[in-house]
Amino acid sequence: MHKWIMFIVFAAASILGVVLLTTQLPGKPVDEAASLPPGVTLMKVEASADFVFDKKEYKVKKGDKVKLKLVNKSGVHGLAIPDLGIDLQGDKMEQDVTFDKPGKYEMHCAVMCGTGHQDMKAVLIVE
């Protein structure tokens, strides 16, 4: 009798495992750049609770059409490039930009995010 109970428990666990594996797997990563119009590139900036952007320096070429997108990996952050009139925060986390003036531009967090907020900076270089 115990063998049947063990068999039923094992079978139920196996079926449950198969169902969870087939329905709970994360989806395949989506290539966001593939959905952009021709001639537009994606520049994704990732911000984290460590008060850093994923890169210290971002580069684009003069005349490039770019979809600038801020992704918060952890914490609540914004992205501002005052000299270019860019301010990503709240509901507006992406912006289409054409970089037509070469130079170096400071990027910083636009949302008071904690004790390391003032050091959360990067540089955008338009070549």
What is d(CA 126, CA 101) in angstroms, rounded to the nearest whole number? 7
Q: Which of these, 65, 67, 69, lies nearest to 53 by C-alpha position? A: 69
Every domain of the chain and the residues it spans = 33-126
Q: Which of these, 68, 45, 62, lies nearest to 121 by C-alpha position? A: 45
State the pTM of this model: 0.72
**Annotation: CATH topology of 33-126:** Immunoglobulin-like (2.60.40)
Each residue's pLDDT, cut to its tens digit, for the chain (127 residues) gives 678 888 888 899 999 888 877 787 777 777 777 788 898 999 999 998 788 899 999 999 999 999 999 999 888 899 999 999 999 998 899 999 998 999 999 999 999 888 888 889 999 999 9
pLDDT score at 1: 64
pLDDT score at 86: 93
What is d(CA 81, CA 88) in angstroms, rounded to the nearest whole number? 9
- Single-letter code of the amino acid located at 112: M
